[in-house]
Structure 1
Amino acid sequence: MVNLKIRDRLDAGEPVFGTFVKIAAPAVVELAALGGFDFVIVDREHGCFTDDQVENMIRAAEAAGIGTIVRTPDALEPAILHALDSGATGVQLPALRGAAQAAAAARFARHFPDGERGLARANRSADYGAMPLTDYFAQSRRILVSVHVENREMVDDIDALCAVPGVDILFLGTADLSQSLGVPGEQDHPSVRAAVDRVIAAAAAAGRHVGAVAGSADEASALAERGVTYIVWQSDIAMLRAAMRRGADALAPLRRGLR
């Protein structure tokens, strides 16, 4: 049974909080759950995961009681199908350049009549075929589809994107967006801020959820105040790096004292 708790919370108008996982270790997922996160995003776009590793990450999340979103390496059918058949709560789709591409990708994630996802129940998402067909279809209709808004084309097509059936979350990718707008790395540039404002306003008008990354408590608070409900706190690598740095800094005086 797919963990749909974050879908329930989003449908109830409540925010959900997750983190990117780039290290292929189920223990990281368990630690995220113990830390209080609602979900993890297994990052197949910028991380190194095999298909079986993704499935084991999903198993760990389910056992720990949290959701799993898989950021696929692209928006093509095989990656979307495998993530969902493995029991993911949903998929997060990069590399899209307009509403038409988003619509095609969303259809890969949905069964008939909403889409054209391949139907085979001998997998985790259907309890290896033990789940009744009606229950399986009801569950499948509630998986989450998040699409990246990370380039000029997606922003320019935002009204059409908000009308695409089957897209639940518009995920702001301000790093890539800054590149697309000609100001690479300047995520606070006025042109990037204006694009973000446009996306949030369009999503609010269309009743769509917005997602974004927060690197600090102040950023997370500001996002929440603007109506962003799918908030991603940094990543496992960023948090591990910071913790390692704090530990090394604490030991630095002892190192100097031994010289």
Structure 2
Amino acid sequence: MFNAAMKHKLEAGEVVFGSFFKFDSAPMAELFGLSGFDFLIIDAEHGCYTHAGIENIVRTCELVGMSSVVRTPDAAEANILHVLDSGASGIQVPSLKSAAEVREVIARAKYWPIGERGSARGCRAAAYGLSGADYEARANRDTLVSVHVENKEMVADVEALCTVEHLDVLFIGPGDLSQSLGHPGNAGHPDVVAAIDRVIEVAAGRKHIGTVVSNAEQLRAYVERGVKYIAWQSDLVMVRNMLKAAVANFAPYRAA
């Protein structure tokens, strides 16, 4: 019962567009899909979600033809298993520091013969046991695995990352990367830019590359360099900016 449309678009060479999703709100998720987004990254690392809340957002994404990727809190087996059993289209795992750790993620996300994911067809992903005998093979084929490249260790190991089988996306996190390199909050620092350049140069044509963008200029620059998995801001940022713009209309009518 997982929507693999976004992964199939990536594999066909298309650029896909999503957003980080922090509000546990099914109507808002529905609106993203109706507005034309390809996927949401449900943020269980920084957002406030229960397992049931994640499953409801995943279900909502499917209802509007949108894929759902869950940014897990970490690489723990239970966290990966829960979100994939809920029917998420994929996972996006933060805080890793080596290709060896990424291989452990693959093992937890994929069924035999690729990995060691716990098998229980009585879950939503397997249509509660009604999915058919080929469920595990389809899950192995269609589940997207993305990992964050957000620290200097992962940048240094990017060559090895590109050799990890069944890893789909290297997601560049400029904010965390700036902190790891000693320039917190300054994603435009030459050290951070050089690290991002290295990831793109090494991974181009070998892995799908993703990142987060906040404006049209960034979007154009990354797409021109072959970045195809794009997170446009987040629901929180978009709502905040919309509310600030609305409040700006009130300013002339408020007492000094």
TM tier, shorter chain?
A: over 0.9
Residue in structure 2 matched with residue 58 of structure 1 by the alignment: 58
One-letter amino acid of the structure 2 residue matched with residue 250 of structure 1: N
C-alpha RMSD over aligned residues: 1.2
Q: Secondary structure at the match of 1:92?
A: strand
Separation in 2, partners of 1:28, 1:43? 14
Tell me if the contact between 1:213 and 1:231 (Cα under 8 Å) persists in the aligned partners: yes
How much identity, in percent, do the aligned residues show?
48
Counterpart CA distance in 2 for 1:34 and 1:71 is 22
Within-5 A mapping of 1:140-155: 140-155=140-155
Number of the residue aligned with 1:237: 236
**Distance across 2 between alignment mates of 1:25 and 1:83:** 17
Q: CA deviation at 1:189?
A: 0.8
TM-score by length of 1: 0.96
Q: Which residue of 2 aligns with 1:82?
A: 82
C-alpha contact 1:17 1:232 (8 A) present in aligned 2: yes
Q: CA deviation at 1:141?
A: 2.1
- Runs of 4+ aligned structure 1 residues displaced above 2 Å come to 251-256
The one-letter amino acid of 1:224's match is V
Q: Structure 2 matches for 1:7-156, cutoff 5 A?
A: 7-156=7-156
Code of the residue aligned with 1:247 in structure 2: it is: A
CA contact (8 A) 2:110 2:139 kept: no
* Cα drift, residue 33 of structure 1: 1.0
* Closer, same or farther: CA 53–140 of 1 in aligned 2, 3 Å: same
Distance 2:179 2:254 in 1: 42
Q: CA deviation at 1:136?
A: 4.0
8 Å Cα contact 1:21/1:28 also seen in 2: no
**2: CA distance between counterparts of 1:30 and 1:219?**
26
Deviation at 1:134, TM superposition (A): 1.1
Whichever residue aligns with residue 157 of structure 1, its letter is: D
Counterpart-to-counterpart distance in 2, 1:245 and 1:21: 19
> Please, which runs of 5 or more residues in structure 1 have no aligned partner?
none
Residue 247 of structure 2: aligned partner: 248
Name the CA distance, whole Å, in 2 between partners of 1:36 and 1:134.
Answer: 31
Find the counterpart in structure 1 of residue 220 from structure 2: 221
Deviations 1:61-113 (A, max 9, x none): 01111000000000111111111000000000001011000111111001111
Give CA-to-partner distance per residue, 1:28-54, whole Å, 9 cap, x none. 101111221111010000101000000
Give the aligned residue type for 1:32.
Answer: F
Task: Tell me the secondary structure at the aligned position of residue 171 of structure 2.
Answer: strand
Tell me the equivalent position of 2:203: 203
Distance in 2, matches of 1:36 and 1:130, equals 30
TM superposition shift of 1:118 = 0.6
Given that 2:70 and 2:88 are in contact with CA atoms closer than 8 Å, whether structure 1 keeps it comes out as yes
Distance in 2 separating the partners of 1:131 and 1:209 = 29
Q: CA deviation at 1:225?
A: 0.5
Inter-partner Cα distance in structure 1 for 2:71 and 2:128: 23
Structure 2 stretches lacking a partner, 5+ long? none
Letter in 2 for 1:194: A
